[in-house]
């Protein structure tokens, strides 16, 4: 979605007089975008630079078209990037971007651990978004898509929070801060987020607060072990720490989504 597409979408919503669909940022386009952001309930956007306003307007258009882009904040996180892929795929008539995980082959041999299988997650953890607690992080993290924002606590389901705290303590003890930064384990990609799976129709494990993502930019959803940073040998100890707590790496089990670890068996 470029600025021409955004101008076209604003015109389709009845903006008068219609904007020139020239891809140029001008006063008329900014006025229309400001109005859209007010309608979408976005806060604090008046001080944002044009590029951030433009992305926030795209997030609002995605939302109006029934595509979950996450918070309308003008920041390009994994959910926004995925939502833009969905928007582009729908224009091409390609449904596979939204459904490929529904038909992906099941991972084999991932059955050990104290956590339920994904099919039993609702009965074990309850309703999505409920029974959440926050845990302090043993080392500072930054939002992966807005690295100037430091994270000191994350939200997780009460049943998994103690286990996650133990794992993160062990990660710090094993690697130290310099190696944590090299691996990208200080780049927080999300925990609790009530949404559907990217590329699937079922709720994500994040919807229960039983999954954590690390460094999404270098471990993108469809990347395999040939590209993902956390697939390299120096990340082996990281995964073994989580596996000792019964958590599952989708990367190690199914060779995609190497950013992700979850307290649910496959």
Q: Which of 182, 183, 131, 139 is nearest to 160 (CA)?
A: 131
pLDDT at 211 over 50: yes
Strand order in the sheet with 260-262: 146-157, 132-143, 187-190, 211-214, 260-262, 248-249
Whole-model pTM over 0.85: no
**Do 145 and 51 have their domain in common?**
no
The span from the CA of 77 to the CA of 69, in Å, is 9
CB atoms within 10 A of CB 266: 16
108 domain residue, yes or no: no
Q: What is the 8-class DSSP label of residue 65? A: T
The span from the CA of 214 to the CA of 26, in Å, is 38
The span from the CA of 56 to the CA of 42, in Å, is 8
Sort strands 248-249 and 260-262 into parallel, antiparallel or unpaired: antiparallel
The span from the CA of 171 to the CA of 64, in Å, is 41
Q: How confident is the model at residue 200 (pLDDT cuts 50, 70, 90)?
A: confident
**Do 230 and 175 have their domain in common?**
yes
Q: How confident is the model at residue 111 (pLDDT cuts 50, 70, 90)?
A: very low
**Do 31 and 133 have their domain in common?**
no
pLDDT at 109 over 60: no
The span from the CA of 105 to the CA of 101, in Å, is 8
pLDDT at 11 over 50: yes
The span from the CA of 37 to the CA of 247, in Å, is 40
Higher pLDDT pick, 266 / 219: 219
The span from the CA of 84 to the CA of 92, in Å, is 13
22 domain residue, yes or no: yes
Stretch among 26-35, 98-107, 226-235 having the lowest mean pLDDT:
98-107
104 domain residue, yes or no: no
The per-residue pLDDT of the chain, averaged, comes to 92
**Do 138 and 255 have their domain in common?**
yes
**Do 125 and 209 have their domain in common?**
yes
- What proportion of the chain, given as a percentage, has pLDDT over 70? 96
Which residue among 79, 94, 109 closes a domain? Answer: 94
pLDDT at 108 over 80: no
**Do 13 and 67 have their domain in common?**
yes
Question: Domain residues for 227?
Answer: 118-262
Q: Are 75 and 145 in contact (CB under 8 A)?
A: yes
Q: How confident is the model at residue 110 (pLDDT cuts 50, 70, 90)?
A: very low
225 domain residue, yes or no: yes
Total tally of structural domains belonging to the chain = 2
The enclosing H or E element of 90 equals helix 78-92
CB-based contacts of 16: which residues, under 8 Å, 6+ apart?
A: none
pLDDT at 43 over 90: no
């Amino acid at each position: 979605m470029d600025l021409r597409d955004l101008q076209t979408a604003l015109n389709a919503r009845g903006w008068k007089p219609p904007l020139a669909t020239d891809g140029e940022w001008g006063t008329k386009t900014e006025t229309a975008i400001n109005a859209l952001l007010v309608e979408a309930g976005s806060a604090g956007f008046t001080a944002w630079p044009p590029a951030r306003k433009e992305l926030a307007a795209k997030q609002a258009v995605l939302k109006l078209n029934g595509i979950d882009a996450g918070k309308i904040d003008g920041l390009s996180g994994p959910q926004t990037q995925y939502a833009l892929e969905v928007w582009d795929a729908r224009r091409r008539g390609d449904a596979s971007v939204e459904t490929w995980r529904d038909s992906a082959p099941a991972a084999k041999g991932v059955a050990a651990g104290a956590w339920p299988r994904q099919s039993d997650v609702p009965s074990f953890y309850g309703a999505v978004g409920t029974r959440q607690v926050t845990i302090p992080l043993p080392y500072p993290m930054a939002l992966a898509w807005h690295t100037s924002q430091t994270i000191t606590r994350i939200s997780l389901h009460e049943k998994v929070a103690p286990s996650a705290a133990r794992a993160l303590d062990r990660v710090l003890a094993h690697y130290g801060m310099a190696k944590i930064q090299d691996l990208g384990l200080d780049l927080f990609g999300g925990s609790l987020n009530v949404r559907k799976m990217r590329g699937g129709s079922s709720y994500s494990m994040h919807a229960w607060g039983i999954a954590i993502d690390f460094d999404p930019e270098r471990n993108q959803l469809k990347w395999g072990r040939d590209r993902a940073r956390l697939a390299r040998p120096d990340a082996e100890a990281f995964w073994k720490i989580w596996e000792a707590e019964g958590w599952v790496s989708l990367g190690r089990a199914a060779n995609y989504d190497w950013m992700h670890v979850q307290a649910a068996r496959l």
